[in-house]
């Protein structure tokens, strides 16, 4: 998932929250109210007003997507930045002695126009983009970076914050306010507030360069992923796919003006779902290579030069800020704290995982050999033969189970049902709220007492103009100070069925839906005064904890039996078939965990480059990094290669992809606690809500976890859940 919000007063470009396997264009601003003056040059009264410049009058301040045009964003960004800088400078120039209210509360109220523009833009650019929005993204990135610097590096403003910080013991603040003060001070220092004027100028240059490179990467990757789709002109080459999947491929081709052909669009990860089914090995190889080299064609969408330059700029920025490498700077405010802590955690998982993967590879090679074919297992063979092995070991066929997983039913009778049983939530579809694409559905969410909690948007199907992966984000954040309730969306990339066909998804897709809704719950249950500390505005290596924890309920018998029903007959999944899914839960874990480990360590390798290192050749660097980290198995590529690793180059997870594994440890510990205390009960759900989901970033996250779990996190339940113990 992902959610990306920023501090209440700081504009886009410095991410604080998190996402699931996905991507995001830019970070957010948050902030203040102010009635925006009309853009310069506006004339007669009949001139159309920019809907982004006024607070929405829709329920929960939901965006008026039916009124917003691409051309509204650039002037709205400019206006929002202008407003916030005026507000911030007024705070900095205040002649009165600094107080919590006239400095930090005022900061929390600043920038509301910019925040609204950024949130609406993020939704459209990531999930429903076009060339015009890509141009806005690239044009605005350096301006937003400069805007952020203008706040972080405002010395008069920082002096007021520092004065309050030095006097914090005598201010008698409530715990959340005290946390906000500490957060502001540390955040400003972390972003260069104590640098000399000369070094601040250098930092501004680095930030501008980085923002340009990041936006270029995002735009190139989106175009390359679309261009990398496999086009097939002979239906027989799709042997192995279901009729529904073939119809969807035909529809995808038709949508591109390729009537009479079939298109398999690329998903963001290295491996592609169709590789598990395609019987033609040459077609599998072509699909895999289209994915593996999507951004390495030597054309305008080749990202290698961009990421090499970006890694260099980040390293130089870290050195300027006093750190040995970018990872050391980035991890300072995370749970892990240091690169050494991350490496110790991740590398400890490598030996047992690679041993398991080698054993799995041997089993797959045996199947190949027994079939009478004579070739060595390759990456494009793994999913296909793993599926055969799954069938042999567990008599489990994905085509058998998909009829029991229809998207709407999984959502309403699975995801929503679990939220009701644990937390008392109820949902009502709203068809009067405008959406940005016809695929999107909107639901009003009601709390356990029947009071409105917020709005939830569900956008589940793949489009060519949607970034890959799955994520959560806010359109409106929660804040008691601002009087706002959460408006949240989940985005996925499931295959869209042909017209009139059911939307049947895989078991992995089911768990993705639960995952992203776990992020949504974290946002819906936010109960903070201040927007900077609200909901998912937590460390990267904590934000995935609620989402991964929520995945467990997908297979919980009470929940599973409530939604796993045949879309035609309504009959529940046979117990024997359901048992096969549960028995197969630890199947292929050497591969599944291995691709995550190699990606996590590849991320750390890129961000531990010292500033004085020469510009790296991306291909050579990646190969050496995989070798040095002992994850260089030819048949087990990283989940993301360097050249299309959206998380670390465009999504705020730089030196942070390990967070999925770190938070998996936390979520398995938490689920173990539930199992030890009666499982799915309202009392247990309420405790988790009260102690984790509703707390935002109002206290030390390690303490928050220990208070819930009773001790420090431990890796045992994670290894057990993965079948490695």
Which residues are designated catalytic?
Answer: 516
Which DSSP string corresponds to 405-425?
A: -BHHHHIIIIIHHHHHHHH--
Which candidate, 721, 635, 638, places its Cα nearest to that of 363?
635
Which candidate, 497, 486, 467, places its Cα nearest to that of 537?
486
Which DSSP string corresponds to 616-660?
A: PPHHHHHHHHHHHTT---TTS--SS-GGG-HHHHHSS-TTTTTHH
Instruction: Write out 346-389 in H/E/C secondary structure.
Output: HHHHHHHHHHHHHHHHHHHHHHHHHCCCCCCCCHHHHHHHHHHH
Question: What is the spatial distance between Cα 129 and Cα 113, in angstroms, rounded to a whole number?
Answer: 22
Q: Say if residue 166 is exposed, middle or buried (CB neighbours under 10 Å; 0-12, 13-18, 19+).
A: exposed
Which DSSP string corresponds to 455-507?
A: EEEEEEE--TTS-SS-EEEEEE--BTTTTB--EEEEEEEEPPPPTTS--B--H
Which candidate, 558, 455, 553, places its Cα nearest to that of 513?
553
| 264 beta partners | 230
Question: What is the spatial distance between Cα 611 and Cα 403, in angstroms, rounded to a whole number?
Answer: 53
Which candidate, 185, 68, 228, places its Cα nearest to that of 136?
68
Question: What is the spatial distance between Cα 22 and Cα 332, in angstroms, rounded to a whole number?
Answer: 24
Question: What is the spatial distance between Cα 559 and Cα 419, in angstroms, rounded to a whole number?
Answer: 10
The torsion angles phi and psi of 143, rounded to 5 degrees, stand at -70, -40
Question: What is the spatial distance between Cα 494 and Cα 463, in angstroms, rounded to a whole number?
Answer: 9
Helix, strand or coil, per DSSP, at residue 210: helix
> CA quadruple 303, 305, 307, 309: dihedral positive or negative?
negative
């Amino acid at each position: 998932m992902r959610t990306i919000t920023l501090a209440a007063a700081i504009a886009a470009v410095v991410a604080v929250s998190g996402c699931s396997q996905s991507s995001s264009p830019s970070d957010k601003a948050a902030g203040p109210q102010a009635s925006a003056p009309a853009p310069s040059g506006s004339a007669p009264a009949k001139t159309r007003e920019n809907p982004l410049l006024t607070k929405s009058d829709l329920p929960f301040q939901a965006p008026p997507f039916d009124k917003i045009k691409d051309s509204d964003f650039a002037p709205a960004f400019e206006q929002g930045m202008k407003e916030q800088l005026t507000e911030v400078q007024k705070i900095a120039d205040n002649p009165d002695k600094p107080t919590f209210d006239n400095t930090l509360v005022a900061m929390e109220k600043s920038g509301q126009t910019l925040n609204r523009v950024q949130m609406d833009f993020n939704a459209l650019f990531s999930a429903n983009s076009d060339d015009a929005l890509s141009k806005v993204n690239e044009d605005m990135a350096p301006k937003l970076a400069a805007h952020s610097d203008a706040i972080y590096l405002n010395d008069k403003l920082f002096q007021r914050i520092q004065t309050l910080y030095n006097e914090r013991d005598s201010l008698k603040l409530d715990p959340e306010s005290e946390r906000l003060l500490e957060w502001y001070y540390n955040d400003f220092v972390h972003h260069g507030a104590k640098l000399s004027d000369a070094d601040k100028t250098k930092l501004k240059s680095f930030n501008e360069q980085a923002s340009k490179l990041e936006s270029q990467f995002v735009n190139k990757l989106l175009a390359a992923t679309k261009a990398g789709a496999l086009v097939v002109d002979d239906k027989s080459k799709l042997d192995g796919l279901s009729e529904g999947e073939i119809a969807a491929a035909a529809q995808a081709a038709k949508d591109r003006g390729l009537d009479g052909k079939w298109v398999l669009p690329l998903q963001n990860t290295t491996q592609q779902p169709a590789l598990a089914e395609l019987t033609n090995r040459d077609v599998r190889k072509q699909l895999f290579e289209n994915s593996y080299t999507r951004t390495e064609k030597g054309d305008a969408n080749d990202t290698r030069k961009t990421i090499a330059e970006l890694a260099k700029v980040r390293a130089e920025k870290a050195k300027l800020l006093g750190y040995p490498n970018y990872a050391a700077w980035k991890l300072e405010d995370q749970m892990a704290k240091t690169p050494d802590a991350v490496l110790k955690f991740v590398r400890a998982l490598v030996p047992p995982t690679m041993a398991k993967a080698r054993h799995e590879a041997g089993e797959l090679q045996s199947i190949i050999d027994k079939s009478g074919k004579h070739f060595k297992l390759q990456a494009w063979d793994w999913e296909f033969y793993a599926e055969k092995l799954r069938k042999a070991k567990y008599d489990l066929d994905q085509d058998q189970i998909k009829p029991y997983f229809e998207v709407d039913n999984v959502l309403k009778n699975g995801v929503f049902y679990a939220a009701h049983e644990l937390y008392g939530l109820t949902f009502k579809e709203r068809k009067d709220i405008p959406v940005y694409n016809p695929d999107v559905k909107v639901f009003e969410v009601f709390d356990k007492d029947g009071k409105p909690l917020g709005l939830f948007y569900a956008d589940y199907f793949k489009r060519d103009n949607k970034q890959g992966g799955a994520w959560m984000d806010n359109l409106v954040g929660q804040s008691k100070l601002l009087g706002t309730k959460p408006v949240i969306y989940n985005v996925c990339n499931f295959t869209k069925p042909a017209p009139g066909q059911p939307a049947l998804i895989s078991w992995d897709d089911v768990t993705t839906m639960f995952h992203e809704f776990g992020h949504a719950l974290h946002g819906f249950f936010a109960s903070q005064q201040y927007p900077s500390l609200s909901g998912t505005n937590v460390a990267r290596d904590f934000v995935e904890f609620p989402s991964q924890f929520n995945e467990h309920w997908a297979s919980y018998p009470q929940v599973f039996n409530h939604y796993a029903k045949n879309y035609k007959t309504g009959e529940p999944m046979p117990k024997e078939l359901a048992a096969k899914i549960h028995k197969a839960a630890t199947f292929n874990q050497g591969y599944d965990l291995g691709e995550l480990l190699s990606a996590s360590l590849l991320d750390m390798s890129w961000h531990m480059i010292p500033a004085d290192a020469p510009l790296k050749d991306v291909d050579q660097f990646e190969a050496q990094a995989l070798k040095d980290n002992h994850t260089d198995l030819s048949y087990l590529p990283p989940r993301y290669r360097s050249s299309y690793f959206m998380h670390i180059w465009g999504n705020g997870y730089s030196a942070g992809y390990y967070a999925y594994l770190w938070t998996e440890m936390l979520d398995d510990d938490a689920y173990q606690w539930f199992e030890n205390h009666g499982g799915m009960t309202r009392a247990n759900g309420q405790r988790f809500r009260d102690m984790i989901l509703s707390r935002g970033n109002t206290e030390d996250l390690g303490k928050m976890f220990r208070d819930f779990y009773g001790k420090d996190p431990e890796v045992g339940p994670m290894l057990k859940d993965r079948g490695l113990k």
